[in-house]
Amino acid sequence: MGDYRVQVKRHVGPADIAEVTDLLGAAYAVDGHRPLGEHKWLDLVHGGRLGFAGLLAHEVDDAELVGYGQLTGGDGSWGLEIVVHAAHRGFSEHIGRALLVAALEEVGHQGGGHVHYWIARPTPEQDADAQSLGFRPERELLQLRVRLPLDTEGSGPGPEVRPFVPGADEEAWLAVNNRAFAGHHEQGNWTLATLLEREEEPWFDPEGFLVLWEGDRLCGSCWTKVHTDADPAMGEIFVISVDPEFHHRGLGRALTLAGLDWLARRGLAVGMLYVDESNDSAVRLYRSLGFGVDHRDRAYLVDVAPTNT
């Protein structure tokens, strides 16, 4: 294991993307979870867009990529994730710290702001490293799982949902999603381009994107996602959104059940979703359906002052 250097790139080309993709794949094979959140992954594969910075840590001796960090955001708020090559985990506290320091310096150069640093299943070493650089725990994200199919005997029929229709339902869905997640850092303020990018992903299946209409009003939806490369294969409740005007009618529960039923009919034996631990009503709902905690991810927050250059 030699020395390494960190490069900051605000745009990445095909060779960089291929190199980072190999690193992420190696980490996924060991960790069993995606090293980058989906919105950051899409920023990467599109070569880096406004507010993007890729931080590549290479070994000096043989130029091997040993770590990667990514900043996404702008306008005073940044998301950050870091991954270290599985073969270099014994040195992760050094490589990860170097990437963290480089990321904070880059945010300073870009005008400063709030940095939200996500760690999947944080270790005590990662937690200590983050806090030593001024980060404080901000959010706990729970991954919940449940065996499928659910026993819903006696629940009665659910509302009549239908599959999402690409080319027809986007405008209505975006309006409901952005009202439902107003102020949410990742899920709020989606644009048509944001949605269309997901529709182009290999995993997208409109048959598993269930929408609920009442007359000419979209009330809510349950968007599912199938992870065929997981072991075991899992079905995810990707996004549940209910228009605030339709709250307190049990639609969140009904849409969750509809999504889980669709996944079970696909032959999947495990259902999964993510939820903020602080969202008490959602956590109670999912626990009442039999979900249990598989693991926790954590977001840390630090405020970075602008760097005078």
List, for residues 27-61, the tens digit of each pLDDT value.
988 888 888 888 888 889 887 777 899 999 998 77
Model pLDDT, residue 232? 85
List, for residues 196-209, the tens digit of each pLDDT value.
999 999 999 999 99
Whole-structure pTM value: 0.89
The structure tokens listed for 293 are 């905690």
Note the helical H segments in 200-279: 251-265
Q: Is 82 helix (H, G, I), strand (E, B) or coil?
A: strand
**Given pLDDT bands bounded at 50, 70 and 90, which one contains residue 100?**
very high
List, for residues 128-173, the tens digit of each pLDDT value.
889 999 999 999 999 999 999 998 765 667 789 999 999 999 999 9
The structure tokens listed for 163 are 């599959």
Residue 19: name the closest of 56, 50, 49 by CA. 56
Model pLDDT, residue 142? 97
**Given pLDDT bands bounded at 50, 70 and 90, which one contains residue 224?**
very high
**Given pLDDT bands bounded at 50, 70 and 90, which one contains residue 1?**
very low
Domains of the chain listed by start with CATH number: 4-141+298-304 (3.40.630.30), 149-268 (3.40.630.30)
Question: Are the C-beta atoms of 51 and 74 separated by less than 8 Å?
Answer: yes
d(CA 139, CA 130): 14
How many other C-beta atoms are found inside a 10 Å radius of the C-beta of residue 3?
8
